[in-house]
Structure 1
């Protein structure tokens, strides 16, 4: 993973002469980092037949990463979608695929899925407080052979902190405090961590709180209506807790109990939806809009690790059982030009029980070393969604009918899903360790069972819903060929799939007034992909380089609510269908240099950079695939002393010139500079400072435009990123 950073060392040499003779090697050797996600085993990134990014705690702190957008700020090829008017950050986009086509997991447990319908209901996937994490791993490209459905575009794996991360060098207790400020949204952040440990027992508690306002834009129109380009006013408040209790009967095994929870609340004055003064009379509907959005997630898990099983079928094993609940509630109060008031409530609840087990075994057959991995994943989920509301008419009459809905309604029936997966992988080392072959196979079974209740039945009288049973097989084959101690080639084939979502199988509603109906589709097939990747790596004490190219073909993409004709009653009929085939190909480059390894006079200096380019095509309609981000690059220079350092990072993006429609807005290219510094002023105490968008550039990220924006729109600045901002944090521990 490339973290472009740099430094203006001369300034710091002048300010801090006491450090002038003490330097530290810049952290540019990303390929030495250990990852787990791409192989389900601990392997250095340089030994993986795929592109993997590893972002550790130190990097998150140095780059002042307070949310998931900050996390991938310097990761070309990976971005985060965002709603600029109300709902905030959505989820990750990897190589042109986003939303539920990217698997997000925390400690091996899949995070909640997203769902949106209409303008007042949008459940996102931003359920993680980064302060609870010690590492993030990103696998680019299909990974269904190890992780099953939803890993069609890749995997983002969050790894939370453990007591052992704090209890080092014989310590039996730890206390840490951290305070921060994020200039993007005027956010104040605070964190308290305590840990204890003994011969057998250890534990930790991490508590976090943040509050702030809306994420700023460069828009300067502060009107309280649809012409507004400044960000809508928001008040944000959130908190999280992570607690773990670990019991180690001996040095080779650990039992771990984890309790985790987080809550985020946002209140928004949605001025951008107020149109009472619109020049077109038919568009004058709304005089005011106030929103209250809340999302929560709670997780309880119990797991066991055994490092020395010494069994014929496994040398080590890990297993865990868990329960995870998540809920999104969004309330909208709207004033209308006719004097009426409307109140809407959206609720989306997901409850999942799961069990996982993984076994590892080392075997020698002749001259070939085998590292066998196999295991089981099982998840049982119940999903409930409901929209409710009422309106108070001008004469005081209260009605539950807000056209086209008669509340309460469900847009799909209560759904229960069962996901079962069996996987096996063999990492083979041949030719005296110069060649690694990694075949793998996973078999997944997906079952959907809808349950009708009076809310859905009354809203969709006579509509038959469908159950679903699907089985998918996902093979993969990876190869790493070490040409010598520095150069290696890697290649991989991977098959991906995504099970038909419950809301596409059974999404249903009828609107007689507007003359349309939506019907279920029990014949939906899984979305699938076939992906190839080929690359070359170089790694030495002084430098590293990785250049790769990939090619992914996607079949049977599901288009939600496609118009399919009229029924016998003359209603327009909409139905989700497998119609789209797509192709995405591209290349990625990562490189870094430690100049101190080349010349003593340059000790402490480093350089790194990354570039990602993708080309996406909807092959069904022969138009560009809009979810593909334009070419993006990062480059930086850094300088590190033993106790401090400064980093200067540049991010550059090309204009978005390939879109499916000529009538949509295309953001211009841009270049942005950031300056970051860190200082360890006493052992265990650190200060981090960042100035972002140094030149106060007005620019728009393509991933931040999640709805259609006309080419001639007068409110494009509403979607712009923040101007020059300052962020800082200070942490102390003992």
Structure 2
């Protein structure tokens, strides 16, 4: 389903909340167990995780601080079934993978607003979705499995919901002001971090400003070959710098309603000396090679939103109302300066911009019919997004001649036309409690309208003369049904069915790329159908004061997966024609478990001791090609033993991963004389981490962690691109950091 296509090989050769949630105590230390935490993403209403007919993870501020979380990989470190994809040589972290699905098939949102989509093409262009400073968050909620019935397109694999801090999180116990400072160090990338938070409150007005700055170097690994060429396994030298600001102003005209104005800005800059791009092959006058490469990459996101909450609407059609309007802009700029062995220089600039405007509204109504209690949730979402992408550049020959033609491109070029998408969704869900509250049924449905409109400007037209582009209009219906049966005081059974879909993306519908020199062209496909899924999940939960267990199994059946740039033969001009098509039929199934023990409930002498564990196993099959899916992670489990006293605590956490066993066959080799390639299989591993926290004074906390205690060499499956490692001597390039230390100090008054 994600195997390299002939076009991708040619390119690499030629281009070497969902709803609102009431303020909670996430910023204040909270010892709530995982299964008892409150979430809103899976149901769009406040429900404990144990009361949801799906698998949901809630990671609160306290947990993020104690585990010294600074990026997405840290966030899901102890969450089997979740992983983060990455690029080892330049671009860093990409996005979160849920149960084998990744990229734009997973919805990532901040305060209910969808994050920008990702896009990459060739070797010098990779716009990711890593736009959020985790220090601005009070909680992260992750829904595993199809969630289109509540969140529409792009929630095919699940939802990652970031919830930012609110003034009320700091203004408790009658306080009308708050000031906090936080300083940190992350040994994985020699990162220095600092942040400041100020909040104020009064009878009707309250506000918050949170400012953060981070700077550091490349993420370390276990590679020890530090040559300045493509045999390098040590990380490429980098300088990283980032900053963020979150500001909120809240006006509460009464106790039952609030207006919230939010401004958010996040930006990151990375400078890389791409030593691993320097070729060790022998150049010729006709085929010069790379002799040096420097990269300057920037990305930023700006969001402005206005929300209004009414808790006591007391109308026949709704008890409460929430609406939000917003605008969000994101920009990615990636600049590459390359030196060639013939004395020439190449300068490339990739840009990818998205500008979105949106409106959301949600209403809730509680009512009773006979012996059945209903909690009806319904609403509307509308988003209009403009997407622009461009590659530009020039070449300077050894004699000083400047040309905008860098084979095979005549810059500037667009790989798809400027595109405007309009997404409209209507949804409704009814949580019904029957049999005296022992049984909950949760039916729901969502209807989505998706429209895509291309705008052919002079850049796209000149690069793709005569190429026909397509508009797209699709309507999708996504039903779901969930059930929770509390058949005993401490036991419950849950089950669910959910239909998911993903609209055909702009870059697959209207790709425009013609390369006469290399003999190929890519054309639009106006007949693409949405990708769809049917997901089933069945689980059992046991919850007691001393222990809890949640065990579930799932089966997801995917249809019409879009395979980008399929070779469809040759056209009248003799060019190989590539076109995105619906061809993939896949299934992913597996089992997950979370369990914990509170030893203090068993014996007063063991007060403060607790055990946490989780495990995830999955299997995926590409049924079209009758081979395993390469995006499914191997068996993974975590185990943590912790002790918490009044003022301090310590935790020893282990991660254990099985060797990746089921792999698709290697890609077809284009050179029959080359040695046969085999698919790289990273070994299984076990890693131990030790973390501690100390509240050494009122409002003062020190957190410290030593990660990978045994300094073990290991490679995560999500860190490599399947089929990319054909030379085993380069595998250390993709290895994880060895033993590192991280620490943070937070003070407030």
TM over 0.5: yes
Give 3-state SS (helix, strand or coil) of 1:267's partner: strand
Gaps of 5+ in 2: 1-28, 667-677
- Is the aligned partner of 1:652 residue 2:661? no
1:377 matched residue in structure 2: 381
1:18 matched residue in structure 2: none
1:49 matched residue in structure 2: 53
Q: How does 1:142-541 map to 2 (within 5 A)?
A: 142-275=146-279, 277-278=280-281, 285-541=289-545
Verify the 8 A CA contact 1:582 1:618 in the aligned structure 2.
yes
Verify the 8 A CA contact 1:26 1:594 in the aligned structure 2.
no
User: 1:469, 1:206 → 2: CA distance?
Assistant: 41
After superposition, give the CA deviation of every residue in 1:151-201 in whole Å (9 maximum; x if it has no partner).
000000000000000000000000000000000000000000000000000
Selected match of 2:696 from 664, 681, 684: 681
How much has 1:450 moved relative to structure 2?
0.2
Selected match of 2:740 from 693, 702, 725: 725
Verify the 8 A CA contact 1:26 1:604 in the aligned structure 2.
no
- Say if 1:49 and 1:699 are closer, same or farther in 2 by CA, change over 3 A: same
1:594 matched residue in structure 2: 598
- Is the aligned partner of 1:63 residue 2:78? no
User: 2:705, 2:532 → 1: CA distance?
Assistant: 42
Give 3-state SS (helix, strand or coil) of 2:729's partner: coil
How much has 1:603 moved relative to structure 2?
1.1
Return the structure number with greater relative CO, CA threshold 8 A, min gap 6: 1
Verify the 8 A CA contact 1:417 1:449 in the aligned structure 2.
yes
User: 2:458, 2:306 → 1: CA distance?
Assistant: 37
1:15 matched residue in structure 2: none
Verify the 8 A CA contact 1:676 1:689 in the aligned structure 2.
yes
RMSD: 1.1
How much has 1:706 moved relative to structure 2?
2.8
2:718 matched residue in structure 1: 703
1:9 matched residue in structure 2: none
How much has 1:279 moved relative to structure 2?
5.5
User: 2:725, 2:356 → 1: CA distance?
Assistant: 40
How much has 1:710 moved relative to structure 2?
3.2
2:11 matched residue in structure 1: none
Paired residues in the alignment total 709
After superposition, give the CA deviation of every residue in 1:388-435 in whole Å (9 maximum; x if it has no partner).
000001111001011111000000000000000000000000000000
After superposition, give the CA deviation of every residue in 1:110-158 in whole Å (9 maximum; x if it has no partner).
0000000000000001000000000000000000000000000000000
2:683 matched residue in structure 1: 668
Give 3-state SS (helix, strand or coil) of 2:316's partner: coil
- Is the aligned partner of 1:643 residue 2:658? no
- Is the aligned partner of 1:121 residue 2:136? no
1:714 matched residue in structure 2: 729
Verify the 8 A CA contact 2:445 2:480 in the aligned structure 1.
yes
How much has 1:708 moved relative to structure 2?
2.9
User: 1:647, 1:284 → 2: CA distance?
Assistant: 55
Give 3-state SS (helix, strand or coil) of 1:475's partner: strand
How much has 1:713 moved relative to structure 2?
2.7
Verify the 8 A CA contact 1:28 1:606 in the aligned structure 2.
no
How much has 1:659 moved relative to structure 2?
1.1
User: 1:601, 1:297 → 2: CA distance?
Assistant: 51
User: 1:140, 1:380 → 2: CA distance?
Assistant: 26
- Say if 1:581 and 1:660 are closer, same or farther in 2 by CA, change over 3 A: same
TM-score normalised over the length of structure 2: 0.94
Verify the 8 A CA contact 2:288 2:342 in the aligned structure 1.
no
Verify the 8 A CA contact 1:26 1:605 in the aligned structure 2.
no
User: 2:482, 2:304 → 1: CA distance?
Assistant: 35
After superposition, give the CA deviation of every residue in 1:363-401 in whole Å (9 maximum; x if it has no partner).
100000000000000000000000000000111100101
After superposition, give the CA deviation of every residue in 1:304-350 in whole Å (9 maximum; x if it has no partner).
00000000000001000000000000000000011100000000000
Give 3-state SS (helix, strand or coil) of 1:338's partner: coil
Give 3-state SS (helix, strand or coil) of 1:714's partner: helix
How much has 1:30 moved relative to structure 2?
1.2
Verify the 8 A CA contact 1:142 1:529 in the aligned structure 2.
yes
User: 2:570, 2:605 → 1: CA distance?
Assistant: 77
Give 3-state SS (helix, strand or coil) of 1:432's partner: helix
Selected match of 1:691 from 703, 706, 714: 706
User: 2:194, 2:725 → 1: CA distance?
Assistant: 41
User: 1:671, 1:647 → 2: CA distance?
Assistant: 16
User: 1:625, 1:204 → 2: CA distance?
Assistant: 46
Give 3-state SS (helix, strand or coil) of 2:86's partner: strand
How much has 1:711 moved relative to structure 2?
4.3
User: 2:422, 2:152 → 1: CA distance?
Assistant: 13
Selected match of 1:106 from 99, 110, 120: 110
After superposition, give the CA deviation of every residue in 1:534-583 in whole Å (9 maximum; x if it has no partner).
00000011000000000000000001111000011111000000000100
User: 1:26, 1:666 → 2: CA distance?
Assistant: 40
TM-score normalised over the length of structure 1: 0.96
How much has 1:664 moved relative to structure 2?
1.7
How much has 1:709 moved relative to structure 2?
2.4
Verify the 8 A CA contact 2:630 2:722 in the aligned structure 1.
no
After superposition, give the CA deviation of every residue in 1:612-669 in whole Å (9 maximum; x if it has no partner).
0000000000010000000100001111101100000000101111111252211100
Give 3-state SS (helix, strand or coil) of 1:60's partner: helix
2:98 matched residue in structure 1: 94
After superposition, give the CA deviation of every residue in 1:490-542 in whole Å (9 maximum; x if it has no partner).
00000000000000000011111111110000000000000000000000110
Give 3-state SS (helix, strand or coil) of 2:660's partner: coil
Verify the 8 A CA contact 1:674 1:690 in the aligned structure 2.
yes
Verify the 8 A CA contact 1:28 1:593 in the aligned structure 2.
no
Which stretches of structure 1, 4 residues or more, deviate above 3 A after TM superposition? Answer: 25-28, 279-284
Verify the 8 A CA contact 1:28 1:608 in the aligned structure 2.
no
